[in-house]
Chains A and B, each alone.
Chain A
Amino acid sequence: MVRLISLLVGAGFVFVLALALFFTAKDAIQNPAPHTAEHAFHQHPENIHLSSAGFFGKFDREQVQRGFQVYKEVCAACHSLKYVAFRDLQKIGYSEAEVKAIANQWVIEQPSVNPETGEVATRKNLPSDHFPSPFANEVAARAANNNALPPDLSLMTKAREDGSNYVHALLMGYRDQPAELLREFPDAKTPDGLHYNPYFANLNIAMPPPITSDGQVTYTDGTKATKDQMARDVAAFLTWTAEPNLEARHAAGVAAIIFLLIFVYLTWGAYQNVWRNVKH
């Protein structure tokens, strides 16, 4: 009885699936999927080989500091970094006094209240504060950016596929829309106010090119600030903001793997020893 019901139920599911397969095939022949510009022109980022990648990867502190400088002077005008606190900067090599100064001199102040009147006010940043948002709220952010919302950058390199490479590729990826694209897809012309960038998912990004010329930032460590260098450095910085404990994780991982290899070796020996007289 169970088997009879099972055959009927099985035949039922298979029949409905066969029906679905037939209609899918028919539909695919009658209305072939349109070839889209996103499909044809989207590009994957190339590897920038950050020092933090790989089993023994560590942050290049000078590079991360340069990246912070790029964030401070270029990105911070529009992008928040809300999960990172000023005090965290000590982990990339700034001293306590330097962090205090960076927080104190940060252009955007921390929202607060006037301690006497209770009115809304702002105050200077402290090392314990998180980076303040450049806009009071989403409406203000959109109003200032042609109705686009600049995303928070704290987790950007983990929130995109191949994030660290993506940030670099996106920053370097602005160009004129290729003529072949317009020839093949006349409807896919980049709308006014957007910018063509083959690394962005739908090819048209609202953010105007942020890194426009060599020397846009003057690095304090004397490194030549080419466009590519700045894009690399800020990608390294955002890799750190997304995963500040990466070095501790790698170090613990190497120790754990060594420990476990010894553990497996010893348990294997114990296993051989216990079973030496039993065929199995």
Chain B
Amino acid sequence: MSFPWAKHYEPKQPLMRWMDEKLPLPRLVYNAIGAGYPVPRNLNYFWNFGVLAGLALVVQIVTGVVLAMHYAANAGVAFGSVESIMRDVNAGWFLRYAHANGASMFLAVVYIHIGRGLYYGSYKAPREMVWLLGVVIFLLMMATAFMGYVLPWGQMSFWGAQVITGFFSAIPLVGETIRVWLLGGFAPDNAALNRFFSLHYLLPFVIAGVIILHIWALHIPGSNNPTGVDVKGEQDTVPFHPYYTAKDGVGVGAFFLVFAFFVFFSPNLLGHPDNYIEANPLSTPAHIVPEWYFLPFYAILKSFTADFILPAKLWGVLAMFGSILLLFFLPWLDSSPVRSANYRPTYRWFLAVLLIDVLVLGYVGGAEATARNVMMGQIAAGYYFAHFLIILPLVSAAERPRPLPNSITEAVLAKHGGTSPAQTAMAS
């Protein structure tokens, strides 16, 4: 499952040889993230974000497991138990702020990771399975983040749960029954809180499992690179360790700097003040908004305001789920043989528009529903679907890509000053 020139694991110590015969776990690690995994030599810093996402998951699991030792999943005491974590548990404020902001960091890192995949065509053959598993991870993360936000049982927790589970009531005929069954009641209450806690504890481990599959699937073709050109020979790659472990170290430090800024100096910046008010089913907040990472999808949901054959609400729910599910079809919607958008002069402009478009959706998702904002959201939502379902298939068929470099090494050497193909052949 790797390139022929990949280094082989050769344990020298007797103990490690013994271990390798009985359980070749060190061999597995060596081949996965050690010197046994050859990686293109030209990866830029955007390739740090996969490792950072894995690290963010570890932070969430470690802080989360300790928080669960102090948290009480009961609608009567949940809010108070979070306050006791903040006030009376040793370093409880740190654990909770690290966990709450850690969710934001995790999603932020994953959004950049997905954006990297979109720009450099990492979803294309032969890495379709890597992409599909990635979308599964993203969906699991969204579910986990949503259920985690419900646990403190503040006003936004409660009303967010009310709104999100309300999606199911948009299903014709059986919707309301399904909603009541999922919630274990007519409104979010103790039954819902308990099952959300159970699933919130379970899903991160499912995510960890799918991440293993994601990395396994990645190691069969090997990593993509900024040119999108396949690895041609040994001169195109370096061993993961020490080259990319060193580079990831820098990324990890920068990641924790940003993380620390939020946890220690602005721990509530990304949250909503209303969630420091205990859940009250009799008092609806003026503006119910989800966490920032759901705002673009929330904007898509709210943009469908007109009934057409189906009721507007059902359109909104279908579109919101569709906006993520369409990512599953991306490898087959994009027919261009060129991976990297660096060599796709037309498509890269549409990608830039998509980035702005998603930011506009994010703004609209959190803003007041004035006519101006709703219209902005409708145009932006329209572009979102048009981009993936109409523009991408058409542009990828019509576009004339720029000439690709012959190899990764040639591209690297060209960047470091003019070179001839002869030099390329000799470079190592």
Interface residues of A (CB under 8 A from B): 2-3, 6-7, 9-11, 13-25, 27-28, 32-33, 55, 83-84, 88, 151, 154-155, 158-161, 163, 201, 242, 244-245, 248-250, 252-254, 256-257, 260-261, 263-264, 267-268, 270-271, 273-275, 278-280
Contact = CB atoms under 8 A, between A and B. Distances in A.
Q: Which of B264, B305, B322 is the most central at the interface, judged by chain A CB atoms within 10 Å of its CB? A: B264
25 contacts: A2-B329, A7-B393, A9-B385, A9-B389, A10-B386, A10-B390, A13-B319, A13-B389, A17-B381, A20-B306, A24-B305, A25-B375, A27-B371, A155-B276, A249-B94, A250-B264, A263-B253, A268-B253, A270-B246, A271-B247, A275-B243, A279-B412, A280-B41, A280-B43, A280-B412
B274 interface: yes
Contacts of B390: 6-7, 10-11, 14
B184 to A, nearest CB: 26
B374 A24 contact: yes
Contacts of A20: 303-306, 312, 378
Contacts of B59: none
Given A10-B385, A245-B93, A160 B273 contact: yes
Given A201-B286, A264-B257, A280-B412, A28 B393 contact: no
Contacts of B371: 24-25, 27-28, 32-33
Contacts of A242: 276
Q: Which of A17, A23, A268 is the most central at the interface, judged by chain B CB atoms within 10 Å of its CB? A: A17
A252 B372 CA distance: 44
A267 B381 contact: no
Contacts of B389: 6-7, 9-11, 13
B247 A23 contact: no
A24 to B, nearest CB: 5
B326 to A, nearest CB: 8
B192 to A, nearest CB: 23
Contacts of A248: 93
B308 A19 contact: yes
Interface string B26-40: 000000000000000
Interface in B235-278: 238, 242-243, 246-247, 249-250, 252-254, 256-257, 260-261, 263-265, 267-268, 273-274, 276-277
A257 B257 contact: yes
Contacts of B41: 278-280
Which 5 A-B residue pairings sit nearest by Cβ, starting from the closest?
A: A253-B264, A10-B389, A28-B371, A264-B253, A267-B249
Contacts of A279: 41, 412-413, 416, 427
Interface in B314-362: 315, 319, 322, 326, 329, 332-333, 335
B264 A23 contact: no
A160 B277 CA distance: 9
Contacts of B386: 10, 14
Nearest to A1: B332
Given A83-B80, A253-B260, A245 B86 contact: yes
Nearest to B315: A16
A28 B83 CA distance: 44
B87 interface: yes
Nearest to B264: A253
Nearest to B379: A21
Interface residues of B toward A: which range? Answer: 35 or more
A90 to B, nearest CB: 13
Contacts, number: 173
Contacts of B374: 24
A253 B265 contact: yes
B190 interface: no
Contacts of A268: 250, 253
Given A14-B382, A16-B315, A20-B304, A260 B333 contact: no
A201 B273 CA distance: 14
A60 to B, nearest CB: 19
Interface string B69-98: 000000000001001001100000110010
Given A10-B385, A264-B257, 17 more contacts: A2-B329, A11-B389, A14-B385, A17-B379, A17-B382, A18-B378, A21-B379, A23-B306, A25-B375, A33-B371, A159-B277, A257-B257, A257-B260, A260-B257, A274-B246, A278-B243, A280-B412
B407 interface: no
Contacts of B382: 13-14, 17-18, 21
A279 B40 CA distance: 12
Given A17-B303, A17-B381, A260 B335 contact: no
B391 to A, nearest CB: 9
A195 B375 CA distance: 37
A69 B256 CA distance: 41
Contacts of B264: 249-250, 252-254, 256-257
Contacts of B247: 271, 275
Q: Which of A19, A33, A88 is the most central at the interface, judged by chain B CB atoms within 10 Å of its CB? A: A19
Nearest to B318: A13
A151 B315 CA distance: 40
Nearest to A55: B265
B42 interface: yes
Nearest to B283: A149
A44 B388 CA distance: 42
B420 interface: no
A16 to B, nearest CB: 5
Contacts of A16: 304, 306, 308, 315
A253 B246 contact: no
Contacts of B312: 20
Given A23-B305, A267-B249, A13 B83 contact: no
A55 B264 CA distance: 9
Nearest to B44: A280
Given A253-B260, A253-B264, A275-B246, A163 B273 contact: yes
Contacts of B329: 2, 6
A54 B310 CA distance: 52
Interface in B203-262: 238, 242-243, 246-247, 249-250, 252-254, 256-257, 260-261
Q: Which of A15, A23, A271 is the most central at the interface, judged by chain B CB atoms within 10 Å of its CB? A: A271
